[in-house]
Copies of this chain bind each other. A is one copy, B any other.
Amino acid sequence: MSTVPSRQTRPEPGILRDVPIFRDLDEGVLRRLSDIGELIASTDGTLLCRQGELADRLHVLIEGQVALSNMAPNGVSAVVDVVRPGGHFVLATVLARLPYILNAQAVAQSRLVVFAAADLLALLQDAPSLAAALMRAEAQDFRALVRQVCDLKLRTTAQRLGCYLLSLSKDPAGNSASLRLPFDKRLLAARLGCRQENLSRAFAALRGVGVETHGARVVLHDIARLKDYAEPDDFSEAEFA
Residues in chain A within 8 A of chain B (CB atoms): 52, 70, 72-74, 76, 78-80, 90, 92-93, 95-96, 98-99, 101-102, 132, 135-136, 138-139, 141-143, 145-150, 152-154, 190, 193, 231, 233-234, 237-238, 240-241
Residue in B142, B152, B241 whose CB lies within 8 Å of A141: B142
Instruction: Decide yes or no: A73 and B193 within 8 Å by CB, A142-B145, A240-B98 being known contacts.
Output: no
In the assembly, how many copies of this chain are there?
A: 2
A80→B120 CA distance, assembly (Å) = 32
Cβ-closest chain B residue relative to A132: B96
Q: Is there an interface contact between A237 and B135, defined as CB atoms closer than 8 Å? A: no
By a CB distance below 8 angstroms, the chain B residues around A154 are 72, 76, 78, 193
Select from chain B the residue with minimum beta-carbon distance to A142: B92
A93→B149 contact, CB < 8 A = no
Q: A98-B136, A142-B142 are in contact. Are A152 and B234 (CB under 8 A)?
A: no
A143 CB contact (under 8 Å) in B79, B101, B147, B148: B101
Q: Please, how many angstroms separate the alpha-carbon atoms of A76 and B150 in the complex?
A: 10
Asked whether A78 lies within 8 Å of B142 as measured between CB atoms, the reply is no
For the complex of A and B, 3 pairs with smallest distance between CB atoms: A153-B193, A96-B139, A145-B145
Q: What are 17 A-B residue pairs whose CB atoms fall within 8 Å in the complex?
A: A52-B237, A72-B231, A73-B234, A73-B237, A78-B149, A80-B150, A93-B143, A96-B135, A96-B136, A96-B138, A98-B136, A98-B240, A99-B241, A101-B238, A102-B146, A138-B138, A148-B149
Closest chain B CB from A230 CB (angstroms): 11
How far is A233 from B78 in the complex, measured between Cα atoms in Å? Answer: 13
Which residue from B78, B98, B102, B240 sits with its C-beta under 8 Å from A153?
Answer: B78
